Structure 1
């Protein structure tokens, strides 16, 4: 007999993996929609002709991937999946990656800069008077929070989130939120050590002025200066 080629071998799959695949199909097809309760364990056992361990392992895998919620004493429910929930699932891994090597944090800051420059371009092109007023209100709120680094950075994140929201692109908003969240603890420490609050406020004021004037090039250049200044300070302090 000829030996079977590696690609021809039939691999016996775990029952739980097969159950998981069927459950994915139930969600993808719309049979189970966001907010729906998952069928009971017994119903799933009967439907797929498997035992309780395979069903429980598959449900746990769905939970680990963020597709369902599991609460003690309640049936599992299908979660609404959007870019934000997907990125939230990677929060802990992202923080581990950032702490693993200093270069990773710098890579993240560079990626954020690329995002922010594109976002501020769109903001300068399309921001309404109401949008500009909201941005100015956020800068004013930041000014009132001088001396409270955590609150100051929280409002800073809202300022940048508003710029992201002006793109009308939920993926950009979610990625921007995720990157800001991963950088949050580093930024609090940085502001506290560098005394950078006043510089941040002045730069935010200039960015908003360019946006109000629909000065795309000016807004991009000011944002570039703002982000590069914070990167340089971080590198000096790290």
Structure 2
């Protein structure tokens, strides 16, 4: 291997990392909010004395991490937190068999049980109304696996939002994204009237407890939901 070429690659990588660190420190020190512009390519070239390619590499890296929005034709802005980067990590952790679907489900269960309790405590009447409406859609759509998964996801994200802690929404979206196909396969494998009624009933009991601000009851019902419905998916050997 050409050692001069290797040195050049390492040098560029080091410069890109330095630019990335500079931008991250800038965001932290200036307390920049989502949507706020960061220095342009031209400004960073003048300030840091590096090439346009190095700046773009740093921008791309920060975009992949979900820190910057680098939409074409626009000056880079601080990105609103989103689950994309975490979702990618979970997806490839499963794809490379470093973690299993059941391990992700165990983590999701721990989060969702606490989530249900916090939603009962911190949720607003608007949150509760949205939850009731999504509950109706779950009942209507259960026979349609694709639609059920959509409404089930919304149901759990409403609960996450109602906790008044954005980290729950972030984590649950990232965890669920890596399990969509497995959940669908499990639903098909467990397709029976009894199972359908059980899943819908657990969602209804969770809704009732949360809307009644019964935090302990909401936690118990969410735990029962995972112990029954989600464990059934694991035992189906489809995930």
User: For the superposition of Structure 1 and Structure 2, which TM-score range results when normalised by the shorter chain?
Assistant: 0.7 to 0.9
Q: Which residue of 2 aligns with 1:161?
A: 157
Tell me the equivalent position of 1:99.
Answer: 95
Aligned to 1:8: none
Structure 1 residue 125: Cα displacement: 3.8
TM normalised by structure 2 equals 0.78
Q: CA deviation at 1:128?
A: 5.5
Alpha-carbon separation, structure 1, partners of 2:119 and 2:103: 24
Partner of 1:25: 25
C-alpha distance in structure 1 between counterparts of 2:24 and 2:231, whole Å = 46
Residue 147 of structure 2: which of 125, 146, 151 is its match?
151
**RMSD of the TM alignment (CA)?**
2.9
- Give a deviation string over 1:210-235, Cα, whole Å, max 9, x none: 33444443332222111111232122
Residue 175 of structure 1 deviates from its aligned partner by 1.4
Per-residue deviation, residues 30-58 of structure 1 (Å, max 9, x unmatched): 39764355544344322222333433333
Asked whether the equivalents of residues 20 and 62 of structure 1 are also in contact (C-alpha less than 8 Å), the reply is: yes
Q: Which has the larger radius of gyration?
A: 1
| Structure-2 residue corresponding to 1:68 | 68
CA contact (8 A) 1:40 1:75 kept: no
- Superposed CA offset, 1:107-150 (max 9, x none): 11111111121122223345565544432221111111132111
- CA separation of 1:193 and 1:33: change in aligned 2, threshold 3 A: same
TM-score (norm 1): 0.78
Alignment equivalent of 2:185, drawn from 174, 185, 189? 189
Note closer, same or farther for the CA distance 1:46–1:106 as it changes in structure 2 (3 Å cut).
Answer: same
The CA deviation string for residues 162-201 of structure 1, in whole angstroms up to 9 with x for no partner, is 2222211111222122222222221122112212433211
Aligned to 1:5: none
Aligned residue for 1:228? 227
* Structure 1 alignment gaps of length 5 or more: 1-11
Gaps of 5+ in 2: 1-10
Aligned runs of 1:1-238 on 2, under 5 Å? 14-30=14-30, 34-72=34-72, 74-82=73-81, 85=82, 87-101=83-97, 104-127=100-123, 131-195=127-191, 196-238=195-237
